[in-house]
């Protein structure tokens, strides 16, 4: 039986195809572009960033028996991430179109897998918010909530019709930590589905207490980024790595230091190409 992980990540591992045209796209035209192929998906991004910080991490994700799945598997294992793959028909993929200032348009094909996922024990369980957009999200949330672990959710863009069910599923997990960006914070937390907590704003970060839950909401400042893909995931991973062995809820000083270091990593990632680009100070597990 495998050892209990420090952090279990549950989320997508996808093939990323990043396209940055050298000129405006025109219908019917052949436009020169820089094209990169790599690994992405919120689950994979989080797992890789955690593994590079020396954390024992296992990733539960959906992977198909196709060439994309083999490429993703090899890349993640090369980063020291242990995999618990859930078989799906085909590996998911994202095409990321970048304009001249790094603004993204994302064309995504996820491979839903939450209903088939088995949740092994871990000290912390980190769940991608995208899983709560799947059809069996409520049942999946209850399964995670039944495991003895600290529970973290990293947010995502949630369409308005799905927000009520998303909040309800997240609330069913009995969270210890919720991490959202600015836009997500405005639409998802804290509300009646999670709590009506008082929110305290400091610098670029909003900190809220949701009952007995410590919720941390990142509000990113302008960075002049060239490619923001994966920057929010880098923030979440560094934040959790900093708090992993701290008392819970974390003391104010530890929380402020963790946020500062997380924001510094996210800023570096936002200025570099690719969701999992290695930046200064990152190493292998």
* Domains, the chain, ordered by start: 5-24+34-270 (3.40.1190.20)
* Alpha-carbon span 156 to 182, nearest angstrom: 11
pLDDT at 1 over 60: no
What's the rounded Cα separation, in Å, for the pair 85 and 73? 9
Pairing assessment for the beta strands 122-128 and 150-154 based on DSSP bridges: parallel
pLDDT exceeds 50 at position 202: no
Burial of residue 86, with CB atoms counted within 10 A of its CB: 0-12 exposed, 13-18 middle, 19 or more buried? middle
Q: Where residue 282 falls among pLDDT bands split at 50, 70, 90?
A: confident
Reported as a single tens digit per residue, the pLDDT across 248-267 is 878 778 877 888 888 888 88
Contact 261, 243 (CB under 8 A): no
pLDDT of residue 33: 92
- pLDDT exceeds 90 at position 193: no
CA distance 252 to 250: 6
- Using the predicted structure, report yes or no on whether residue 219 has a pLDDT greater than 80: no
Compute the distance between CA of residue 124 and CA of residue 211 in angstroms, rounded to an integer: 19
Residues 6+ apart with CB under 8 A from 60: 8, 9, 10, 11, 43, 84, 86, 117, 118, 119, 120
pLDDT at 200: 47
Residue in the structure block whose two tokens are 């570096």: 268
The pLDDT tens digits for 65-82 are 999 999 999 999 999 999
pTM: 0.88
The fraction of the chain above a pLDDT of 90, given in percent, is 51
Closest among 196, 146, 153 to 177, alpha carbons compared: 153
Tokens 């405005």 belong to: 186
**DSSP per-residue string spanning 136-184:** THHHHHHHHHTSSSEEEEE-----GGGHHHHHHHHHHT--SEEEE-HHH
Question: What does the pLDDT average to over 234-246?
Answer: 90
Q: Are 138 and 114 in contact (CB under 8 A)?
A: no
pLDDT at 222: 47
Asked if residue 182 has pLDDT above 90, the reply is no
Between 103 and 13, the higher pLDDT residue: 13
State the burial class of residue 273 (Cβ atoms within 10 Å of its Cβ: 0-12, 13-18, 19+): middle
* pLDDT grade for 23, boundaries at 50, 70 and 90: confident
**Of 144, 141, 192, which is closest to residue 170 (Cα–Cα)?**
141
- 131 alpha carbon, distance to own chain's centre: 11
């Amino acid at each position: 039986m495998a050892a209990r992980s420090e952090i279990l990540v549950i989320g997508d591992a996808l093939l990323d195809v990043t396209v940055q045209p050298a000129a405006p796209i025109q219908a019917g035209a052949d436009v020169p572009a820089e094209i990169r192929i790599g690994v992405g998906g919120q689950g994979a991004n989080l797992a890789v960033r955690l593994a590079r910080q020396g954390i024992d991490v296992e990733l539960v994700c959906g992977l198909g028996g196709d060439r994309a799945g083999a490429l993703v598997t090899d890349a993640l294992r090369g980063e020291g991430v242990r995999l618990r793959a859930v078989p799906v028909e085909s590996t998911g993929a994202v095409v990321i179109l970048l304009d001249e200032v790094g603004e993204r348009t994302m064309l995504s094909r996820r491979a839903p897998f939450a209903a088939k996922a088995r949740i092994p024990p871990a000290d912390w369980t980190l769940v991608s918010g995208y899983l709560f957009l799947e059809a069996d999200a409520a049942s999946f949330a209850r399964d995670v909530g039944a495991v003895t672990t600290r529970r973290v959710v990293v947010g995502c863009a949630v369409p308005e019709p799905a927000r009520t069910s998303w909040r309800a599923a997240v609330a069913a997990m009995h969270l210890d930590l919720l991490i959202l960006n600015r836009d997500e914070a405005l639409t998802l937390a804290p509300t009646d589905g999670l709590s009506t907590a008082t929110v305290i704003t400091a610098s670029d970060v909003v900190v809220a207490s949701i009952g007995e839950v410590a919720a941390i909401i990142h509000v990113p400042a302008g960075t002049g980024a060239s490619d923001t893909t994966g920057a929010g995931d880098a923030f979440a991973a560094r934040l959790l790595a900093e708090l992993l062995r701290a008392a819970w809820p974390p003391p104010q000083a530890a929380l402020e230091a963790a946020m500062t270091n997380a924001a510094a990593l996210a800023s570096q990632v936002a200025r570099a190409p690719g969701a999992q680009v290695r930046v200064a100070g990152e190493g292998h597990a």
